[in-house]
Structure 1
């Protein structure tokens, strides 16, 4: 929907010579844009309309104005299969996510995360991320104890470092190498630090491990 252009007083710069009387510019009216037809619908009807949209459409609509940004949560509303298909297609087909191979300025392309369903820069991904993990009967990642019969192995799709820390797929003392070659480590308070720039966490005072801990 086209938006009306609102001019402000400071958008104009009129000369003010001494002893001159110039006509003043008319003050533009500061009117708020009228709500769209969808915004005027009852909330339950709006949510019914949103439930019929795919992930890409929800993302686009959420950027249209403040109302849709506050009302639409594409992550929560879209179907997981639709989200996975969209980020896979976006990482593969959208020009802004492709690698740059021109001249000496090679830059790897962006990658998709199948946990937050976003396409992110290669600096957000571990080059050696685990391909599988074990979870217990509650669906929690098994760490710090021997495996038991009730645990089961699950295969992992690509995920970003932030999601890996959040879901306990990366743990404190893990050392990571991003797809751009940066060395990272995870401190005891589960913050991702860069090395060798930061070898001691200023928050938890945890030290970077001298020897990378083997991942589970």
Structure 2
């Protein structure tokens, strides 16, 4: 996701295009040390955090979308246990609110995918349930909404990396579940297509 972040993530204020590997803190470079985005800063944007975000991860069109992105991240944090639930709020409420944001504002779907990817990357929370809930939320999101064609190859690469990393305790079941659902969708689509073709053949045979 580092490459995707470089191309599409919101840049910190005062940072121009371009990447530098390190920051030079010499006085001679004081005026230019914030002109570039460092690898460390990018890495911080794509790994788990226990603090709410003050802006969207992606570059969005307007302030309303930015505020919805912040609300979505709070839903994710509350569901995963990184933030306390509001009074009377349930985990189901968090899921519903997150899905409604994705339903009402389609450009935020990629944003929510990136947020969940971030919260399931390098998650060192002492609560074992945090990682489990993160992958569960991932599977719920994929069941309702697809990401954009732009994000899709990076998402698949991320899932492939998680699946091949034996250090990750919770990745296998959820990735298998996602792939299984995707496979069922393909089989179901092919079955419907076959039935449609049979119907057309039958219709042509008896009425033409």
* TM-score (normalised: structure 2): 0.24
Q: Which structure has greater helix proportion?
A: 2
**Which is higher, the Rg of structure 1 or of structure 2?**
1
Q: Which structure has greater strand proportion?
A: 1
